[in-house]
Amino acid sequence: MAFDLYLVERVQQAFQSKNIAFVEKKMMGGLIFMVNDKMCVGVDSDKKTKEDRLMVRVGANEYPLALKLKGCKEMQFTGRPMKGLVFVYPEGFDTDEDLMFWIEKAMAFNKEAKSSKK
């Protein structure tokens, strides 16, 4: 599992600065941040380009808008896009403000997302 520990630390600090309780889980080749038992944000590395990236769960409504933003690409593992989930590459989260933007997008959707617990 390859992912940037500095980026992980930045995400941790972003959640902590907003007093958001989270749990980290290794999955999908990266580290996923779970909030309220729901996948929220992840950190991994693009296997082709070796670039660090965020995985952000924005939801179906925000998905088309998110794809128009700097550094954002559709998330796909099987050749088919996973609607509601996007990858954000470094140019999209370089600054702390940019990173917080994505954390807030994920948290907004987290309120309406279904829990992974049954």
Q: Which domains does the chain have, with CATH numbers?
A: 5-110 (3.90.1150.30)
Q: Which of 35, 43, 38 is nearest to 89 (CA)?
A: 43
* DSSP secondary structure code for residue 78 in this structure: S
Task: Report helix, strand or coil for 87.
Answer: strand
Burial of 69 from C-beta contacts in 10 A (0-12 / 13-18 / 19+): middle
Phi and psi at residue 28, to the nearest 5°:
55, 30
Query: What pLDDT is stored for residue 114 in this prediction?
Result: 75
Residue 27: pLDDT band (50, 70, 90) is confident
Confidence check: pLDDT of 118 > 80: no
Phi and psi at residue 82, to the nearest 5°:
-100, 95
Confidence check: pLDDT of 83 > 70: yes
pTM value? 0.91
C-alpha to C-alpha distance for 21 and 3, rounded to whole angstroms: 22
**What is the gyration radius of the CA atoms in the chain, in angstroms?**
13
C-alpha to C-alpha distance for 115 and 74, rounded to whole angstroms: 23
Region 79-93 average pLDDT: 92
Query: What pLDDT is stored for residue 42 in this prediction?
Result: 95
Mean pLDDT, the chain, whole residue set: 91
* DSSP secondary structure code for residue 42 in this structure: E
